[in-house]
Structure 1
Amino acid sequence: MFDSVIEFTADLITALAQPLGSTAAAIVIFTIGVRLLLLPLSVMQARGARTQARLAPRVGELRKRHGRDPERLRSELVSLYTREGASPLGGILPGLAQVPFFMVAYRVFVSSTIAGHANALLTHGLFGVPLGQQFASTVAGFGLLSGPTLVFACLFLLLLAVALVTSRRIRQTMGDEVQPQVLRGVMPLLPFTTILAAAVLPLAAGIYLLVTTAWTAGERAVLYRPALAGR
């Protein structure tokens, strides 16, 4: 079943590439389309996260008051979330529901074979670089100062720009409840892992990473902006 979904996705991107004249452009359009389909889940996740932030002080008070009585604490937390019409998993479950979509996209843009056949998507190129090519093999084949290597360099710079924006926003919105201190130091660094991933994954996966992380940055800027905090 999972392989059939992957094969269908690859065929869909191939069909998009024909009128667009570019498989790379088809990957961009496909990624945007998937993120639009997942937008309701992202909205649910943002609402859940805002509810968690709003209830955090009251949850903290209950934990201090009933920390030595787990059963009473559980009962009080259930009552609190019931009164507020919320769920302690409201900010987590919508995000988990998105994971299968990202798994399919990952397989399509990384796997050299799909359903026992060569992944034709990865044989197409962007400015002369096959979408299945990796950065190391590009440098080895064309040299460090070459057009194909420049394609990867531009991709890394764009990913770096998105990571800088995302990291700065994480620092601005990270509350005091985020503990321990090590975690507070690590979280702003996580967006930069996309650059490391793009350095070892095929170019097709790097394009997908760029589009989806840029979308996420814009989405969070809208859904998590301070003006919505009280809604």
Structure 2
Amino acid sequence: MSAQTKGFSMFDAVIDPAYRLISAITSLTGPVLAIVLFTLAVRLLLVPLSLRQAKAHKARLRLAPQVDKLRKRHARDPERLMRETSKLYAAEGTSMFAGLLPGLAQAPFFMVTYRVFVSATIAGHPNLLLAQSALGVPLGDHFAAVLAASGPFSVPVLVFAGLFALLAVVAWVTWRRMDDTVRPRVLRLLPFGTVLAAAFLPLAAGLYLLVSTAWSAAERTVLYPRPA
């Protein structure tokens, strides 16, 4: 019988330890605080990568006027433009892709954490975390399910509504802090996608999104200060 048939996935080797850690924390603190603490611990672990990414971002902003001049000067010679731009970044001790690698390195951590909060089974066993509850609402419940089962003015729906409101506030703060140079400008609306995502995810995953995006908003405020 294949591993897939038995309920295992290729990601269980890393997801299962994370799940066991969260479960151990849950026995001490309760499920909601366990999600908060675990998510904060992951984000704290990734701070060095965030610092490198912020450093690369500041270098790009500092070099932007010179890069624009190079673009105008070598508009008809893309290869020359690439060489001159690379030399410019190298002279500053950085590169055009310096901020990309830290961002990519963070992706596996986010994927593992996210999978813990959305998977019905982990390593072939039921995800008991989703059977826990927050304010009386099971962490495995979805908004559409509680809306259909309890009606629009029930406590479970109000719990989700509170989550959506907090996600919207965090998204607004992030939107306010985003660089005006982001192109296309529609990308500036991406932070609000967390509200839409939470409407289709288990409550546990919504709580993870809230904590993680709130950390990102605070991190952006500290690491990407607006010019005076």
Same fold flag (TM > 0.5): yes
1:114-153 superposed matches below 5 A: 114-153=122-161
Give the deviation of 1:214 after TM superposition. Answer: 0.5
AA paired with 1:116?
A: G
Among candidates 170, 180, 185, match of residue 174 of structure 1: 180
Question: Unaligned 5+ residue runs, structure 1?
Answer: none
On the 8 A contact 1:168/1:188 being kept in 2, the answer is no
- Deviations along 1:132-185, one digit per CA (max 9) or x if unpaired, are 000010111222111111111111111111111111222xx313xx44xxx21x
Query: Which has the larger helix fraction?
Result: 1
C-alpha distance in 1, partners of 2:100/2:61?
13
TM-score normalised according to structure 2 size: 0.92
Say which SS state the counterpart of residue 199 (structure 2) adopts: helix
Deviation larger for 62-71 or 6-15: 62-71
C-alpha distance in 2, partners of 1:187/1:140?
33
Give the deviation of 1:72 after TM superposition. Answer: 2.1
Q: In structure 2, what is the equivalent of residue 15 of structure 1?
A: 24
Q: In structure 1, what is the equivalent of residue 191 of structure 2?
A: 191
C-alpha distance in 1, partners of 2:226/2:173?
17
RMSD, matched Cα = 1.4
C-alpha distance in 1, partners of 2:28/2:123?
25
AA paired with 2:52?
A: M
Percent of residue pairs bearing the same amino acid type: 58
TM-score normalised according to structure 1 size: 0.91
AA paired with 1:95?
A: G
Q: In structure 1, what is the equivalent of residue 223 of structure 2?
A: 223
Say which SS state the counterpart of residue 226 (structure 1) adopts: coil
Among candidates 67, 70, 81, match of residue 78 of structure 2: 70
Give the deviation of 1:67 after TM superposition. Answer: 2.2
Q: In structure 1, what is the equivalent of residue 107 of structure 2?
A: 99
